[in-house]
Structure 1
Amino acid sequence: MSEYKVYLAEDEKNLSEILKAYMTKEGWDVVVFENGDDAIAEVENTPHLWVLDIMLPGTDGYHVLKEIRAHNENTPVIFISARDQDLDRVLGLEMGSDDYLSKPFLPQELIIRVKKLLKRVYGEIAQENKKVELNDYIVDAEARVVIDTLDEDRSIELTTKEMDLILLLTEDVGKALSREDIIEQVWGEDYFGSERAVDDVVRRVRKKMSRIHLETLYGFGYRILSS
């Protein structure tokens, strides 16, 4: 995909202009919102990625994130904040953000984070254009969708992290991956947090895909089996 649409919600005008300039230089179509209410009004347009400041005038970033997730759980979101870094990082990740940057940061650092997230969600995973069949589920890597063939081909609602985990484990069905490997490839090398996040995502996937054989290797990690 040659052009991505990125929505930037940031009320610091100088910063938003700088970030927009850097992202536009990458060939991305960037739309800036200076307050949370304006951002929420455009949630239904579903960009490829949101860059979302937590402290926004009017409606704060947490509420904007809730609206984004209510509309489309799979839209990638990067939180930025100058407040309590550890608290915001934890709250943001728990609420479903895909990455976090604390102010001040270099614009190029955001560009690197955005590129990695866009590549992970829309790029490399889709290149093989393959579909994997697992216990009456069809995992379509290009479309980033899981179909339940026993439920009238219903598409299963998965979050970005849940889908990334499924796609990673189905790249080589039967291969065991450690929690460290999963963290690095799904959350990224810069992830700061507990490996228990992997267990939480696995638990949610098992609940949504009850017939999947997602095996726990105690003390190590996980693997998906074909039957």
Structure 2
Amino acid sequence: MKIYYVEDEKDLSEIIRKYLIREGFETTVFYDGESAMAHIDDDVDLWILDIMLTGEISGYDLIKSLKDHHSPAAVIFTSARDQDLDKIMGLELGSDDYLAKPYSPRELILRVKAVLKRHQARETSEIVHYGPYEINITRREIKDGQVSIELTNKEFELLLFFLKNVNQAFAREDILKHVWGENYYGSDRVVDDLLRRLRHKMPELKIETIYGYGYRLLWKKLS
């Protein structure tokens, strides 16, 4: 498994890196937020983020960027500052665990293994099969057999909305509100355009058009 470790204390980071490698983890260390941010889209299983970093980009900035980019990676925060405040902030931003400094390398290893185990179990539970498609909701990946299907963010959000509401009919206005948000004031015809693209990429989706009203996704068992 691949781990990115962001820590500006070089002596500590070298010790932790050796422990992680010894446990079989492919580990890359970044000493500041800027260098880590350049790799925010990399395929990684876990980020270990120190909150206070050298430079202008903090651990908070990094996890916000990870969430904005829909990264499926797990996140562990570490910090030497006020534990309660940082822990609350980290959890609110979506971290999976928090470890206050100073900590032992062995404790971090145990936390890493526990987080990855929980994360893998959650990913497995968030795989949906629809017809020939395997849809990994966590990783936002879709496969038709061995072929990957690439969707835009909006296409995936629309698919996810239908999967969560199978067999329910929705007006265009309802779909618009759930996929584009309350503050979108454009034409509801963007729904039709998005549906057309989604149907083209995933022709086995049984999306029923309800004329004069909207759409619904009918359930389809594994082919």
What's the TM-score, normalizing by structure 2?
A: 0.58
Contact kept, 8 Å, 2:126 with 2:136, in 1: the verdict is no
- Quick one: which amino acid aligns to residue 32 of structure 2? N
**Secondary structure of 2:81 counterpart:** coil
Q: What is the RMSD of the two structures over their aligned residues, measured on CA atoms?
A: 3.0
1:210 shift after superposition: 4.7
**Structure 1 residues 73-222: aligned runs within 5 Å:** 73-122=71-120, 125=121, 142=124, 144-146=126-128, 155=135, 157-158=137-138, 209-210=164-165
CA distance in structure 1 between the partners assigned to 2:44 and 2:13 by the alignment:
17
Deviation at 1:67, TM superposition (A): 1.0
What is residue 191 of structure 1 aligned with on the other side?
A: none
Residue 101 of structure 2 aligns with an amino acid whose one-letter code is K
How many angstroms does 1:154 deviate by? Answer: 9.4
Of 23, 38, 50, the match for 1:41: 38
Query: Displacement of 1:73 after TM fit?
Result: 4.1
CA distance in 2, matches of 1:48, 1:91: 22
Residue 59 (structure 2) aligns with: 61
- For 2:115 and 2:138, locate their aligned partners in 1 and report how far apart those are by CA, in whole Å: 17
Instruction: Please list the CA deviations of residues 190-209 of structure 1 after superposition, one character each: whole Å capped at 9, or x if unmatched.
Output: xxxxxxxxxxxxxxx99x93
SS of the residue corresponding to residue 44 of structure 1 reads coil
* Count of residues in Structure 1 that have an aligned counterpart in Structure 2: 146
Asked if 1:7 is matched to 2:4, the reply is yes
Show structure 1 runs of 4+ deviating over 6 A: none
Deviation at 1:148, TM superposition (A): 6.9
Structure 1 length-normalised TM: 0.57
Q: For 1:34, give the aligned amino acid.
A: Y
CA deviation profile, 1:64-113 (whole Å, cap 9, x unmatched): 11111122342100000001110000000000000000001111000000
Establish whether residue 31 from structure 1 lines up as the match of residue 28 from structure 2: yes
Shift of 1:144: 4.0
* Deviation larger for 72-81 or 92-101: 72-81
Instruction: State how far apart, in whole Å, the 1-side matches of 2:164 and 2:136 are.
Output: 8
- Residues 41 and 71, structure 2, Cα contact 8 Å, conserved in 1: no
SS in 2 for 1:63: helix
Q: Which runs of 5+ in 1 are unaligned?
A: 127-140, 160-204, 213-227
Task: Specify the code of the residue in structure 2 equivalent to 1:18.
Answer: I
Q: 1:39 to 1:209 in 2, by over 3 A?
A: same
Contact kept, 8 Å, 2:77 with 2:99, in 1: the verdict is yes
| Structure ID, larger Rg | 2
Match of 1:21 in 2: 18
Q: Distance in 2 between matches of 1:74 and 1:55?
A: 23
Tell me the amino acid that sits aligned with residue 60 of structure 1. S
State the SS of the aligned residue for 1:45: coil
Deviation at 1:142, TM superposition (A): 3.8
Whichever residue aligns with residue 11 of structure 2, its letter is N
Local SS of the residue matching 1:31: strand
